[in-house]
Amino acid sequence: MNPAPFKFIISSLLLCLLITRPNESMGQKNITTRIIAHRGAWKNTGVPENSIASLKHAIRLNCWGSEFDVHISSDSVPFVLHDHTIQGIHIEKTTAAELSKIKLSNGEPLPTLESYLKAGKSQNITRLILEIKSSSISRERSLALTKKCVEMVHKLNVAFMTEYIAFDFDVCKKVKELDPSATVSYLEGDKSPDEIKKAGLDGLDYHYSVFQQHEDWLKISKKKKLITNVWTVNEEEMMRWFIDRTVNFITTNEPEKLIELMK
């Protein structure tokens, strides 16, 4: 047999496979990966992170979700912010009345969870990705905050548009105990898809370095019907890396960049 036509057929087949490989070309629309604005859309809009203004910008951009962080005051009122302290004031050691006097750099008051959820409720585009922060004082306070968050979400009828994330595995399990229908993903990165599934949680929301080290977890999670979400991916090259591996969600400080990339 003349090997030349055979070689041509094989190379043509290989070329076809390469051309049709999913996500090979970013020119084609990706329908798998969705965008979550990390602490709202703040970086390119000039508003403070975790402000209601940053949530509104994420909604304006049609982000699938907008992530935000929640701590609890000394008298058990949940507030939205990332760090344990703001302007030198320790959230967990300060009353709600005192915290309510704090203004963010754009002039808006430090948001309570209640005011934040009410702002999110006024639309039906962007889901609210609620991170329950671990207490700096005690595990009991982390669990008390968990209960407050789930109660508030239900009281304001936003359960259908809210998902939960936490670094504390017990907090994640507590949310499921309080609301078995809630969607809950774990953040720390030290549990395999098997362990997440066994604990009854819904997803892995891990730092990019974890997924890059355990690339198989993306595939295994898919087989186990677990959600995969990666944070915080701000560079185009890494966005492409995860889009090519069909991660379910990319959490980013640069939602505008990711939107452009996925057009």
Instruction: Provide the token pair at 22.
Output: 């999913």
Interaction mask 33-62, Mg ion, x per CB under 5 A: ------------------------------
Q: How far is the CB of 50 from Mg ion (least distance, A)?
A: 8
C-alpha span between 138 and 72 (Å, rounded): 12
When binding is defined by CB under 5 A, the residue of 69, 92, 202, 256 that contacts Mg ion is 69
Q: Which is nearer to Mg ion, 40 or 193 (CB)?
A: 40
On the CB side of 36, CA atoms within 13 Å amount to 26
Distances (CA, A) of 165 to 91, 187, 209: 20, 7, 18
Q: Which is nearer to Mg ion, 148 or 197 (CB)?
A: 148
Q: Which is nearer to Mg ion, 38 or 56 (CB)?
A: 38
Find the binding residues for Mg ion in span 113-132 (CB under 5 A): 131
Q: Is 254 a residue that touches Mg ion (CB under 5 A)?
A: no
Q: How far is the CB of 188 from Mg ion (least distance, A)?
A: 12
Q: Which is nearer to Mg ion, 92 or 131 (CB)?
A: 131
C-alpha span between 7 and 117 (Å, rounded): 62
C-alpha span between 117 and 128 (Å, rounded): 8
> Is the separation of the CB atoms in 62 and 37 below 8 Å?
no
Binding site for Mg ion (CB under 5 A): 69, 131
